[in-house]
Chain A
């Protein structure tokens, strides 16, 4: 471009440096990819959020135990303010201990992690995670 600037003459395509062609083509590919993905999804019928959850790990911490779970939205639409109840049952105590957690946002076909605290060791007990509901963004 520097030569073009000096001469101020109209440029022909041959005067375009190879780097300009490379970045231009890369941008065109990225642009086309995004447009195809978005248009394809716009034309497809979409399913509402389908929320599921599974325990990823339990870890002892000062004053209790942390249960980390992974929430997956396998639907085609996002979910906001997704609430979960995590219930700990079985073992020596018969009472079910419940904790609530809220994940701000889970995109379509995406996963998010959250954690809840218990004062007892979850080992040997059953952990049930139940999604309660969501808001449409």
Chain B
């Protein structure tokens, strides 16, 4: 029988899709049940949303390579899996939003596309991480992945995924603006220091590297991760038009506030992805 129609392969893949669906819902439900996300999907600047959607695809392909919901061996496999999680995420988000009445007859195509594009991003990450969360494939697989995990850029990429995941849950809310405007500049600076310290403690605790000094680890890992968090938080807030018309100091304060949860997400990313402290 052609491998294309092999029953066992197709059944295995269907099980993987169900796992992806579960992962998508667990990651995206908090956002699916947030009013600000519905409104942002309909109201967000279309150029910025289209850019966010376009950037989602290469990120998903890379994440599929690292932690897809099934094992992949080629670029075609990874691209197919990235599109597959887009399908699973879009359909599941569509159904949930229809049940909630947030997608209904009479709504414009643009509003529907906007809501799905925005919510699919978080759901797709969850769907791709489903394999790590619900199907730990054992020591052999972990050995296979160690080579990638040791790479500086892969670690940075995974930290970025963790940062985006946590920041996305908070960025749409008004609390970022409220907290930032209530803080004097020195408190914002203090929050940045706390974020860096927390990130350093988490990274040190979960990911000990031999032959690396504390200072080396701090500069190479902690500061690079925090810098990435700042850039990602700026991009998310800019995408959501939360920095429009703001002064530079006001923008920086908002970015620092959002970078606090993002830093925790970046630090814990490898835990979220199912990594072991000894790896």
CA distance A20 to B42 in the complex (A): 31
Chain A: interface size category: 35 or more
CA distance A25 to B202 in the complex (A): 40
The 0/1 profile, CB within 8 Å of A marked 1, for residues 103-115 of chain B is 0001111110110
Residue of chain B at shortest CB distance from A21? B80
The stretch of B9-17, B23-31, B222-230 that contacts the partner chain: B9-17
A4 with B83: CB separation less than 8 A? no
Given A15-B3, A80-B39, A105-B39, the answer on whether A3 and B9 have CB atoms closer than 8 Å is yes
Q: Footprint of B on A, CB under 8 Å?
A: 1-5, 9-21, 23-28, 30-31, 33-35, 37-39, 41-42, 77-78, 80, 104-105, 107-111, 137
Within the complex, the shortest CB–CB distance from B232 to chain A, in Å, comes to 21
CB-based closest 7 A-B pairs? A109-B108, A27-B83, A27-B87, A107-B42, A24-B80, A42-B46, A27-B86
Asked if B192 CB lies within 8 Å of chain A CBs, one says no
Asked if B153 CB lies within 8 Å of chain A CBs, one says no
Given A39-B50, A41-B46, A110-B42, the answer on whether A30 and B86 have CB atoms closer than 8 Å is yes
Within the complex, the shortest CB–CB distance from B238 to chain A, in Å, comes to 15
Q: B8, B45, B73, B107: which has the most chain A beta carbons within 10 Å?
A: B73
CB interface residues, B 57-85, toward A, < 8 Å: 57, 70-71, 73-74, 76-77, 79-85
Within the complex, the shortest CB–CB distance from A29 to chain B, in Å, comes to 8
A25 with B83: CB separation less than 8 A? yes
CA distance A15 to B72 in the complex (A): 11
Within the complex, the shortest CB–CB distance from A44 to chain B, in Å, comes to 9
Asked if B4 CB lies within 8 Å of chain A CBs, one says yes
CA distance A37 to B79 in the complex (A): 22
Within the complex, the shortest CB–CB distance from B134 to chain A, in Å, comes to 16
